[in-house]
Structure 1
Amino acid sequence: MENVNRKRLFIASCLALLVTAITFAIRARIEGVFTDDYGLSKEEVGRAFGPAFWGFAVAMFAGGYFIDIVKTKTVVWMAFAMHLVGIVLLLMAKDYTSLFIANVFIGLGNGSVEAACNPLVATLFPDKKTKMLNRFHVWFPGGIVIGGLLAWLLMDALNLRWEILVGLLFIPLAIYGFMFLGQKIPETERVASGVSYKEMMRNVGAPVTITVAVIIMILVATVPSLSVSFDSALPFIIVAAIILLIVVEGRVVNKITLLFPLVFFCMLLTASTELGTTQWINALLAENGISPMIILVVVTGIMAVGRFFAGGLVHRLNPTGVLLGSAIISTAGLLLLSISTGAVMTLLSAAVFAVGVCYFWPTMIGVASEYIPKSGALGMSILGGAGFVATSMVLPIMGKSIETAGAHITLRNMSVLPVILIVAFIALILIVKKHNQKAE
């Protein structure tokens, strides 16, 4: 790639993801501030944090659909602007509404980073996409480690105000802005390979139905009166209708396999398993005899190391095998956390959970890039966006469960998600195997 500084662009992308990750660590720490000091309930905090996830989804979907029209560079600078505004508004937040609006901008900034940088990394390293996507995503858990340590040092050890912690975000924000400044950013892999926009849409399988489904999820996560209640048959009817429409749009209209919709479904559960648990870690493990921020640092530290060395594991097991193993270990980790009481057992259980969720996010993106390459930037953006909007739905549900049923019951109930994933990933392995046999 002529006149493209691949190393500088990759480092800049990692720093942009670092800002995204630190916001997650900060939210995990300051949720108590808004309940104790500003009088919000845990369910309200969960809803106010929700835009950080569905805003992420909106930005990723918009980026996926329009990145090749407006160019990657524009999306990068949108991310910078949204991050800047969101951080300033978060510093000013004192109630539900102001916290909600701040998280809208932070979510849009975070989503724009993923919408731009996932396809950028895949384009910069076309021969080792899954490996480099895992290395790029090292900086998500890596950033949470940094943010968690800073949160513990500033707020727990030094007893400083939370605004000082949030203000530190301006440092990596300024650096990644400088790193992208004046750089030539290449076209996405889809454009470079000559795959048409129409063909990209077709390879998503059911783009219209999937987009509508995500919009419904955002509404459920945002509007309290639309809260999910499984006491009635309505949620199950809606899910069944969406599945039917996906089958019709994918098989009848687009006449293509439903591989991408299956990956989309799996992403909803993998993201909720990982991010739902880590975002509520302060409330979930507050009574376990060890600082939840230390647990968060351990979990995300293990994830960072695992992702950095993911290349060899992915090569030996292939991406789908890695995902199946991850689902099994995640189930064990959540069940162990649900019965943990002391510091040592909690730490060991958290380590098992960390190994389980370690490869979920980047490997899911890698599966789309490896096995459904014509889905392009849109496919990667839909998966990332869907993961975050699913988490925005889970957060208030978890918050309410923690208040009513307790932390241990909530963790046990969350283990149902990776159990479902075990079945789904076995199906994915069989479909990919059949797909590869036909390709040969």
Structure 2
Amino acid sequence: MNTIKSSKLFTASCLALLVTSLSFGIRAGMMNQLGIDFQLNATQLGTITATAFWGFPLAIVVGGFVVDMIGMKRLLIMAFLFHLTGIVLTVFAQGYWSLFFSTLLIGIANGTVEAACNPLVAALYPEEKTTRLNYFHLWFPGGIVIGTLLVTLFVNLGIGWQSQVAVMLIPTLMYGYLFLKLEFPVTERVSSGYSRADMYKAVFSPLFLFMFICMFMTAITELFTGQWISLLLKNVTDNAILLLTITTGIMVVGRAFAKPIVRKLAPQGVLLFSAVFAALGLYLLSTLSGGSVFFAALIFGIGVCYFWPTMIGFVAENIPKSGALGLNLLGGAGMFAVSVYTIVMGNFYDGLVIRHLPKGANLQEYSTAVPGSVEASAFAKAMDLAGPEVLRVTTVLPVILIFAFSGLVLYTKHLKRLQQRSEV
């Protein structure tokens, strides 16, 4: 008798990913307030943000190595405990270091969720992996939309960021309860009979290594921009946080209708399409101002919509022997790249701001100046100039991806022709 309840497991997985994405959306919305409350500069805020990305690759890579041995259920119970602890510690944070460690715990929880849920979804729906992974991953932008709207609502009501973070406890307790009750399947690699030697050979194949490197750039393009957009463009538009809401809203809709697009273009075609729109969207975000920035956010949202789930789906479909380890190494690569890039860009951003301030200006003094003062006005103008410059530098990455994915499309067409000839 089959005791695996696929729909309930999928629902619980979506709730777990919702918690992950709420942590991104709420943190992105409260970054500026954290800087004010704890007197943190952009470098410190960048390090705190990056901490979540450090915990993620650590957990997802370790999870990839052990998930076949200990099972997906144990991993997800661990994720629940890490989420619960990290959220509570964030609510009661007292400064830089408490924010650092609580964010690290949430990052570990987020990575553990992906380490178990990506192979779980692939195992539950072996005939439509890319489509189902897109459905699953729509809850990432969906949670960011919910998170940013909650931040906007709570700020307008005068409710502090601590209460915004505490909201995450609701879906956390829900997914923890569901996973404790349900039975889990084994991973697809185990059920297919592929050996660990097959798995290790697959993750060192040229095609996997190519996708591994591309994941650096797709993840940075999507996640770095999403986390920093409100900070980088807050002086370009009065509603910078709504840019993130628009971008992620497009991602929700796009992933919900992924099936016909994936069927029409194939995963590699979807990735090329995404790179073109992401490059155009980032360029427009860095050059436009006022109301036209929202059009740029729409284009960018279309671009990054399918990146993450389609990268994972491509590997699941085309390199199945890589198993859960392959999916998790890919996710870990993306988050690690974002963590490094976030720190580098935090320093780069501070340097740009200083460059646009009067000669000899002290960044800390100008950033904490009284609103309306000469120093405050100079600091706002410097930030206005620095933010778009960071986005222009980041635009280089999706441009590189256009060439990379064009090559991938040609390569897969060549393989298909060879396969058709061999069948004849």
Q: TM-score, normalised by structure 1?
A: 0.86
Q: List alignment gaps of at least 5 residues for structure 1.
A: 206-256
Query: Is structure 2 residue 288 aligned with structure 1 residue 340?
Result: yes
SS at match of 1:37: helix
Report the aligned-residue RMSD: 1.2
Per the alignment, residue 395 of structure 1 pairs with 342
Query: Is structure 2 residue 63 aligned with structure 1 residue 63?
Result: yes
Note the alpha carbon deviations across 1:28-71, whole angstroms, 9 max, x for none. 12211232121111111111221211210011101111101111
Q: State whether residues 230 and 243 of structure 2, in contact with CA within 8 Å, keep that contact through their aligned partners in structure 1.
A: no
Identity %: 47
Paired AA for residue 289 in structure 1: T
2:317 to 370, 377, 402: 370
SS at match of 1:50: helix
Per the alignment, residue 325 of structure 1 pairs with 273
Note the alpha carbon deviations across 1:413-440, whole angstroms, 9 max, x for none. 1100001111111222233333444445
Query: Is structure 2 residue 73 aligned with structure 1 residue 87?
Result: no
Per the alignment, residue 76 of structure 1 pairs with 76
Shift of 1:404: 3.0
Query: Is structure 2 residue 214 aligned with structure 1 residue 269?
Result: no
Per the alignment, residue 384 of structure 1 pairs with 331
Distance in structure 2 (CA, Å) of the matches to 1:307 and 1:79:
25
Per the alignment, residue 404 of structure 1 pairs with 351
Distance in structure 1 (CA, Å) of the matches to 2:110 and 2:81:
11
Shift of 1:115: 0.5
Distance in structure 2 (CA, Å) of the matches to 1:24 and 1:70:
28
Q: State whether residues 68 and 190 of structure 2, in contact with CA within 8 Å, keep that contact through their aligned partners in structure 1.
A: yes
Q: Count how many residue pairs are aligned between Structure 1 and Structure 2.
A: 387
Per the alignment, residue 125 of structure 2 pairs with 125
Query: Is structure 2 residue 402 aligned with structure 1 residue 429?
Result: no
Distance in structure 2 (CA, Å) of the matches to 1:311 and 1:332:
24
Q: State whether residues 330 and 352 of structure 1, in contact with CA within 8 Å, keep that contact through their aligned partners in structure 2.
A: yes
Paired AA for residue 387 in structure 1: G
Q: State whether residues 151 and 293 of structure 1, in contact with CA within 8 Å, keep that contact through their aligned partners in structure 2.
A: no
Most deviating of 20-29 and 94-103:
94-103
Per the alignment, residue 189 of structure 2 pairs with 190
Q: State whether residues 77 and 180 of structure 2, in contact with CA within 8 Å, keep that contact through their aligned partners in structure 1.
A: no
Note the alpha carbon deviations across 1:303-345, whole angstroms, 9 max, x for none. 0000010110011011101101111111100110111210x20
2:305 to 358, 376, 380: 358
1:21-170 alignment runs, 5 A limit: 21-155=21-155, 157-170=156-169
Runs of 4+ aligned residues of structure 1 deviating over 6 Å after TM superposition are none
Shift of 1:99: 1.3
Distance in structure 1 (CA, Å) of the matches to 2:222 and 2:20:
16
Paired AA for residue 115 in structure 1: A
2:227 to 279, 288, 303: 279
Note the alpha carbon deviations across 1:278-319, whole angstroms, 9 max, x for none. 101121120123322211111101000000101100110111
Note the alpha carbon deviations across 1:96-153, whole angstroms, 9 max, x for none. 2211111111011000100000000010011111100000001000000100100100
SS at match of 1:3: coil
Distance in structure 2 (CA, Å) of the matches to 1:81 and 1:181:
12
SS at match of 1:65: helix
Most deviating of 312-321 and 425-434:
425-434
Distance in structure 2 (CA, Å) of the matches to 1:371 and 1:432:
10
Note the alpha carbon deviations across 1:84-106, whole angstroms, 9 max, x for none. 11111111223222111111110
Distance in structure 2 (CA, Å) of the matches to 1:93 and 1:434:
55
1:290 to 230, 238, 242: 238
Shift of 1:175: 0.9
Distance in structure 2 (CA, Å) of the matches to 1:401 and 1:336:
21
Q: State whether residues 259 and 431 of structure 1, in contact with CA within 8 Å, keep that contact through their aligned partners in structure 2.
A: no
Paired AA for residue 332 in structure 2: G
Q: State whether residues 17 and 113 of structure 1, in contact with CA within 8 Å, keep that contact through their aligned partners in structure 2.
A: yes
Distance in structure 2 (CA, Å) of the matches to 1:63 and 1:427:
31
Q: State whether residues 262 and 428 of structure 1, in contact with CA within 8 Å, keep that contact through their aligned partners in structure 2.
A: no
Most deviating of 192-201 and 25-34:
25-34
Shift of 1:179: 1.7
Distance in structure 2 (CA, Å) of the matches to 1:184 and 1:289:
49
Q: State whether residues 243 and 297 of structure 2, in contact with CA within 8 Å, keep that contact through their aligned partners in structure 1.
A: yes
Q: State whether residues 47 and 342 of structure 2, in contact with CA within 8 Å, keep that contact through their aligned partners in structure 1.
A: yes
Paired AA for residue 330 in structure 1: A
Q: List alignment gaps of at least 5 residues for structure 2.
A: 353-385
Bigger Rg, which one = 2
Distance in structure 2 (CA, Å) of the matches to 1:372 and 1:439:
16
Note the alpha carbon deviations across 1:191-242, whole angstroms, 9 max, x for none. 000001111111001xxxxxxxxxxxxxxxxxxxxxxxxxxxxxxxxxxxxx
Q: State whether residues 55 and 107 of structure 2, in contact with CA within 8 Å, keep that contact through their aligned partners in structure 1.
A: yes
